[in-house]
Amino acid sequence: MISKDKTKIGCYGNWRRYQNNPVLKDDWGETFDVTVLRVNEKLRMYLSWRSTNSIAFVEGVDGIHWSEPTIVLTPDFTTGWEEDVNRQIVIEKDGKYHMWYTGMKFLGAGERINSGRSCIGYAVSDDGIHFERRKEPVMEPEGGWEKTNLMCPHVIWDEEMQKFRMWYSAGGFWEPDQIGYAQSDDGIHWERHPDNPIFRPHPGHFWEREIVSACQVLPMDGWYYMFYIGFEDMYKATINVARSKDGITGWERFGGNPIISGGAAGEWDAEAVYKPWVEYLDGQWLLWANGRRAAIEQVGLYIYDGDDMGLKDWK
């Protein structure tokens, strides 16, 4: 995927890179793992803000220019399981904003080391800004493939099923390595799928031979499209797509994977691209993701000019 056009480097088909990436300011420090909601006439992006160990949001109208961040959820050290909060999903249902997030407890005086425990928490809000959390996690790791870590919940409300549906990542503490599924009537009490994990690394594809994680699932045209991270190894990551008729079984990977990979040497996303969020706006698909160069992650934008993201001609 080498191109003389720098906006096309690392992009499949009609995907291109926004030329002035990253779109979130350098002086905010590291931001990562975003989710985006439409709130009235604006886009509201919730993000993990590493320097504060908190979840914040920014607002904008075009997907490029954003307000200063406002913190909406901070760590609560009294709970014993959330020294850091991050990797959130926020949805609006029946006039309430529901947030599921990752709470992390480190081993070693709060240091970010390759050991600890993470759970999925829940908070609710009337305005999407002032959240009231549950003191106990709504999902805790059960060992086995989940090991000691649950992260990166993605939740939708299924009107036909009348259930919340969650896809989550679990396994390693530094990076979860497989994707599971659970569902709930109330967003608090969750029933895991008996055949978890429902999505695993594919050893035949070098770009995801080690890890798959941190997905967004988008119901569209009779399919559930999963946008996910694939890891070649712990340091090289790309954005990929798969689809399933029920969102649980029979996953088919897109033949054009990876759809987004890192930029040229020295670029802000040269080494890895993480955690996609896809949204349709004004005749284009926008995909925000964290890019990494060395140890620094920032959020940038990738654009698909057209309606179908190239997925109608699935191969």
| The pLDDT of residue 4 is above 80 | no
Residue 245: C-alpha distances to residues 26, 176, 223 (Å): 40, 25, 5
Burial of 255 (0-12, 13-18, 19+ CB in 10 A): exposed
Reported in sequence order, the residue ranges of the chain that DSSP labels E, i.e. its strands, are 15-17, 31-39, 42-49, 54-60, 70-73, 84-93, 96-106, 116-125, 131-133, 150-158, 163-170, 178-184, 190-192, 211-220, 223-231, 237-244, 252-253, 272-281, 284-293, 296-305
Total domains in the fold of the chain: 1
Give domain status of residue 314, yes or no: no
**Model pLDDT for residues 175-221, shown as the tens digit of each residue:** 899 999 999 999 999 999 999 999 999 999 999 999 999 999 999 99
Give domain status of residue 10, yes or no: no
Determine contact, residues 17/7, Cβ cutoff 8 Å.
yes
Give domain status of residue 136, yes or no: yes
The pLDDT assigned to 114 comes to: 56
Length of the chain: 315
In angstroms, the CA 248 to CA 63 distance is 30
Average pLDDT value over all residues in the chain: 93
Which position has the token pair 């399919």? 223
Which position has the token pair 């002086």? 27
Give domain status of residue 2, yes or no: no
Closest CA relative to residue 59, chosen from 86, 73, 38? 38
| The pLDDT of residue 301 is above 70 | yes
Give domain status of residue 161, yes or no: yes
- pTM for this structure? 0.95
Give domain status of residue 280, yes or no: yes
Give domain status of residue 9, yes or no: no
In angstroms, the CA 6 to CA 264 distance is 8
Give 3-state DSSP helix, strand, coil % of the chain, rounded to 5.
5, 50, 45
CATH number of the domain enclosing 41: 2.115.10.20
Both tokens of residue 267? 């670029």
Give domain status of residue 315, yes or no: no
User: 186 lies in which domain range?
Assistant: 15-305
Which residues have C-beta within 8 Å of that of residue 292, sequence separation ≥ 6?
A: 237, 269, 271, 272, 273, 274
**Model pLDDT for residues 288-298, shown as the tens digit of each residue:** 999 999 989 99
